Every structure is written in structure tokens, then in C-alpha cells.
């Protein structure tokens, strides 16, 4: 079975201190599926777009072999439109507007043939939608779940219910602390593991990520970059590369999940080097292999 990905699809307006773009391809599942497509297939995308979602965007997804059977195209509305602005510090993102449009009434319907999917990735959408998706599935083997501070704040109960049902939870450091109500990252991870997921991954932006699996811990730095064009989608590219690699290898050992974290880190690094999804649209296998090997050199010792 393929890798099933549910998440948002958006058109983004992004402003950084150096550049500004409008109506570019965005949304959690877009970054996720593109990043995952370098590792595995088939990938099935469940999402919704409006009448303004152009053919070129569809083509980008199709060119990466992403299955769009589960993509709903609503002709009576517009695509989710999101605007944000970054300060000098890439970690500071200000939301300028959030026009949900057709995403407001998104009903994620999993086509019958995908309900037995064994690998499922719940991108960052409302936890009620994530629960809705899970209720349609027939005992998936691995459910990976992303979320964000918004849902922790406004939909805590549903989010906790979701977290109880997933195998891998991916959050950033501040989200880990507010969701677990712990001050320390390691205590937070333990508390989150106790809520359900065997595996918790805490992303720390430019400082890398920490994998918690049972009692084991694995720390990776971010791939060093001299400049970042656009941090949007970094976490999605991470989770896409991570899950794509696991779906390809079907090996859920600690040793292999470590490798998946490194592939996720590599994909996030490509993503932030360009605006929108451009950084992960035209990679070659050799680019990914090369960066993975550089990552080995900069983290491994004997």
C-alpha cells in the first residue's frame, strides 16, 4: 500500500526581509508529499483546493508521482490562502492573514481503496480532522502526526485524543513544552510519550532535532546553511523525508528511524534554501545522497 498523506494545501503569500512572493504553492501536505516523493511511491494525497488552484501546481504534484485521487477540487470556492511575514530572525513568523476558504469545510474523505493504508501521515491540520481520518482507517501500522501551537491552544482536548492514537508525534520545542506542560525538553518528551506515541520527535529549527524512542535518544543538528531564503514548510519537508524513507524501507528499528531523521533533516535543509516548495521540486537523488554523506561527515566520529 502507498503512503497516505492528509494535510492542508494552500496558496501562500510570504514576505522575508529580502523578498516577497504571492500565491505560491504551500500547505503542509504539499511540502510533505514532495519531500516524501524522493524516497517512495505511491503517495496518496488527501486534501482540498478551490477554483484558483492552477494547473501548474497540479502538474508539480503529478510530476512527482503523487496520487491525487483523494484531492477534492471545489469549483465554488477559493483555495486556502495564507500570508505570513518573517523578521530578521527566521524563527519569528507573523501571520498576516488566514483565509480558510474551501478548507473551512474540508471533509477528508479517504477513498475506499486507501483505507487499509499501513503508513499514514497526518499533516498539520485541526486535530478533529486528524481524528476523522483515523476513524476511516483500518489498523494502520504507523501513524505519524504533526501539529502546531494553534491547535494546542484552541483544540487541546481533540489534540490529546489524536496524540493517544498515533505512533510518532512531531512537534517543535515550544509546542512540546506547552502540550506536555513541562519546562524541560527531556521531561516534555517523556510526558508526551506517556500520552501515547512510542516515538516523539522534537524539532529545534536551526538547532536540529531530537528523536525519543522508548528510552533511547538521538540528537541531530540542522544541516549548516549560510543563509535561509524561506523557512516555510521546513517542518513539513522534515516529516515528509522522514516518513517517506520509513515507508520505503519498512524498517521501524531505532537504527533505521535514526536514518529517517537524518533524511528528514536533509530534506528540510533543501527546502529552506528557496521560497515556497521550489527547493524540493527539482532535486536529484545524487543531491540528497551528497548532503546525507556530508551530514555523516559533520556528525560522526570514531
Query: Interface with a copy of itself by CB under 8 A: which residues?
Result: 88, 183-187, 204, 207-208, 210, 216-221, 224-227, 255, 258-259, 262, 297-302
Q: Which residue has the cell 499501513?
A: 118
Q: How far is the CB of 16 from a copy of itself (least distance, A)?
A: 14
Beta bridge partners of 71: 47
Using DSSP's 3-state secondary structure scheme, residue 24 falls into strand
Q: How far is the CB of 249 from a copy of itself (least distance, A)?
A: 13
> Residue 33 class from Cβ within 10 Å (0-12 exposed, 13-18 middle, 19+ buried)?
buried
Q: How far is the CB of 182 from a copy of itself (least distance, A)?
A: 10
Closer to a copy of itself by CB, 23 or 256: give it.
Answer: 256
Q: Which residue has the cell 525519543?
A: 212
C-alpha cell at 122: 497526518
Q: How far is the CB of 233 from a copy of itself (least distance, A)?
A: 21
Q: CA-CA distance, 286 to 292, in Å (whole number)?
A: 10
C-alpha cell at 68: 491525487
Q: How far is the CB of 90 from a copy of itself (least distance, A)?
A: 11
- Of 173, 176, 259, 257, the C-alpha closest to 214 is 257
Amino acid at each position: 500500500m502507498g503512503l497516505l498523506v492528509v494535510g492542508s494545501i494552500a496558496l501562500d503569500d510570504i514576505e522575508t526581509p529580502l523578498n516577497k512572493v504571492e500565491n505560491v504553492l504551500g500547505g503542509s501536505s504539499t511540502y510533505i508529499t514532495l519531500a516524501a516523493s524522493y524516497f517512495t511511491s505511491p503517495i496518496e494525497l488527501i486534501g482540498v483546493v478551490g477554483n484558483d488552484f492552477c494547473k501548474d501546481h497540479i502538474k508539480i504534484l503529478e510530476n512527482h508521482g503523487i496520487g491525487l485521487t483523494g484531492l477534492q477540487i471545489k469549483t465554488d470556492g477559493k483555495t486556502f490562502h495564507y500570508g505570513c511575514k518573517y523578521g530578521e530572525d527566521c524563527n519569528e513568523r507573523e501571520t498576516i492573514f488566514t483565509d480558510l476558504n474551501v478548507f473551512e469545510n474540508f471533509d477528508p474523505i479517504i477513498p475506499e481503496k486507501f483505507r487499509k493504508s499501513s503508513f499514514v501521515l497526518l499533516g498539520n491540520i485541526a486535530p478533529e480532522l486528524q481524528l476523522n481520518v483515523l476513524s476511516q482507517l483500518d489498523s494502520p501500522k504507523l501513524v505519524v502526526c504533526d501539529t502546531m501551537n494553534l491547535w494546542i491552544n484552541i483544540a487541546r482536548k481533540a489534540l490529546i485524543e489524536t496524540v493517544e492514537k498515533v505512533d510518532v508525534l512531531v512537534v517543535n520545542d515550544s509546542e512540546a513544552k506547552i502540550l506536555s506542560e513541562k519546562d524541560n525538553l527531556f521531561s516534555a518528551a517523556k510526558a508526551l510519550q506517556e500520552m501515547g506515541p512510542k516515538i516523539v520527535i522534537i524539532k529545534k529549527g536551526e538547532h536540529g532535532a531530537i528523536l525519543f524512542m522508548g528510552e533511547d535518544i538521538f540528537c541531530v543538528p540542522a544541516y549548516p546553511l549560510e543563509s535561509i531564503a524561506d523557512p516555510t514548510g521546513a517542518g513539513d519537508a522534515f516529516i515528509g523525508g522522514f516518513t517517506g524513507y520509513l515507508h520505503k524501507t519498512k524498517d521501524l528499528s531505532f537504527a533505521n528511524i535514526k536514518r529517517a531523521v537524518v533524511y528528514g533533516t536533509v530534506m528540510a535543509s533543501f527546502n529552506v534554501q528557496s521560497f515556497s516548495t521550489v527547493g524540493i521540486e527539482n532535486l536529484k537523488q545524487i543531491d540528497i545522497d551528497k548532503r546525507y554523506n556530508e551530514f555523516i561527515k559533520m556528525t560522526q566520529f570514531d
